[in-house]
């Protein structure tokens, strides 16, 4: 070995020593990466803190409503809180389910038309219109439903009652104004269609092209290709879209308040004036005159709505996760 090579071999090297086989390799983060990760962490933390703060506020303010003695509560009027809130929960869930049943097929059909049937220009225009529909304020939907839709539907309600009155949904005395739970559910359906359509459209567009082309290459028609390749792939996304739309319907206040002639009844009849009352509409109608423990009672009904909405979203997450596990296992 020459003197030059020996000197070079003994000189200290600036390169870091190689880590052992079990030592983790730490990548040097740039300033932008650290800022982005910190901002994302902060945003996620803020969401959790706000959610926890809302839950704590609702629980603390709701405690007076659960007292055994409710004789001085002008909202409960001597009855128990659960007797009072039961019909409200029924009205909230019932109107939202009707809206979801009406909106889901329409939204999925529109999303499939935009993603797989419509020409590109028409699809872009229709998608833009659907997005604009989602931006319409709920007050506008409420005015439209109460002043336009209800009078138009009233003759239809009479026809349904005369010809299909043997079905419990269409029995009873028909409302003379058309302001029924069915009208309110139709307005809710129109309001949640853009949400479902936008999500389903994006999910349908994420279907692997190889799956679609393979189905078409085997001789499948376009509908058969959608049924075998697109819909199974997008099932989890469609469930998520439906649950998000259901969450919007559960919490809608102004549109239902302006359309529905509320009475607080527990009935499945869709065409009568004795309509169930959803929780948001009840809070909006009763809060201006509420005082003392009445305010706590209305906040307690908001807590019940919070729990119901949280349960719906948790159920949707469970379905999507279960579907993902099932797809991965296969």
**How do residues 117-130 score in pLDDT, each as one tens digit?**
888 888 888 888 88
Using an 8 Å Cβ cutoff, are 310 and 119 in contact?
Answer: no
Domain 40-325, CATH number (from 3.40.228.10, 1.10.3720.10, 3.40.50.1820, 2.40.30.10):
1.10.3720.10
- Confidence category of residue 22, pLDDT binned at 50, 70, 90: low
pLDDT of residue 21: 56
DSSP assignment, residue 122?
Answer: H
Give the residue-averaged pLDDT of 281-298.
Answer: 84
- pLDDT band for position 323 (cuts 50, 70, 90): low
H or E element in which residue 35 lies: helix 31-62
Whole-angstrom CA distances from 12 to 4, 133, 284, 288 are 14, 69, 77, 80
Q: What is the arithmetic mean of pLDDT over 169-198?
A: 88
For residue range 92-107, what is the model confidence (pLDDT) as tens digits?
888 889 999 999 999 9
Q: Which residue has the higher pLDDT, 20 or 255?
A: 255
Q: How far is it, in rounded angstroms, from Cα 272 to Cα 182?
A: 9
Is residue 292 left, alpha or beta, with left meaning phi > 0 and alpha meaning psi from -120 to 50? Answer: left
Instruction: For residue 271, give the nearest of 157, 145, 142, 166 by alpha carbon.
Output: 157
Say what the pLDDT of residue 23 is: 54
* Cα-based distances in Å from 295 to 73, 101, 268: 10, 34, 29
Instruction: Share the mean pLDDT of the chain.
Output: 82
For residue 313, the model assigns a pLDDT of 80
Give the start-to-end residue ranges of the domains of the chain: 40-325
Residue 6 reports pLDDT greater than 50? no
Q: Which two tokens stand for residue 77?
A: 């009027």
Output the pLDDT for position 119.
Answer: 87
């Amino acid at each position: 070995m020459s003197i030059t090579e020996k000197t070079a071999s003994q000189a200290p090297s600036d390169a870091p020593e190689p880590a052992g086989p079990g030592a983790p390799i730490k990548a040097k983060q740039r300033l932008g990466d650290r800022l982005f990760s910190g901002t994302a962490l902060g945003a996620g933390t803020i969401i959790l803190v706000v959610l926890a703060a809302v839950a704590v506020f609702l629980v603390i303010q709701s405690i007076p409503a659960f007292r055994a003695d409710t004789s001085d509560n002008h909202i409960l009027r001597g009855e128990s809180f659960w007797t009072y809130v039961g019909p409200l929960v029924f009205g909230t869930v019932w109107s939202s389910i009707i809206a979801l049943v009406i909106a889901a097929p329409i939204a999925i059909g529109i999303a499939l038309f935009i993603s797989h049937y419509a020409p590109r220009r028409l699809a872009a225009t229709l998608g833009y219109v659907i997005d604009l529909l989602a931006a319409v304020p709920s007050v506008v939907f409420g005015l439209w439903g109460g002043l336009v839709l209800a009078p138009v539907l009233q003759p239809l309600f009479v026809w349904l009652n005369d010809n299909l009155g043997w079905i419990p949904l269409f029995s009873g005395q028909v409302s003379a104004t058309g302001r029924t739970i069915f009208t309110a559910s139709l307005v809710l359906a129109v309001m949640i269609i853009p949400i479902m359509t936008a999500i389903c459209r994006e999910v349908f567009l994420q279907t692997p092209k190889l799956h679609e082309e393979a189905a078409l290459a085997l001789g499948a028609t376009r509908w058969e290709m959608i049924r075998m390749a697109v819909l199974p792939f997008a099932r989890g996304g469609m469930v998520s879209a439906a649950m998000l739309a259901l969450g919007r319907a559960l919490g809608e206040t102004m549109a239902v308040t302006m359309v529905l002639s509320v009475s607080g009844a527990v009935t499945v009849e869709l065409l009568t004036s004795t309509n169930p009352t959803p929780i948001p509409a009840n809070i909006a109608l009763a809060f201006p005159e509420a005082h003392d423990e009445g305010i706590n009672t209305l906040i307690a009904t908001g807590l019940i709505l919070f729990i119901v909405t949280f349960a719906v979203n948790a159920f949707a997450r469970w379905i999507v996760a279960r579907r993902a596990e099932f797809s991965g296992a296969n």
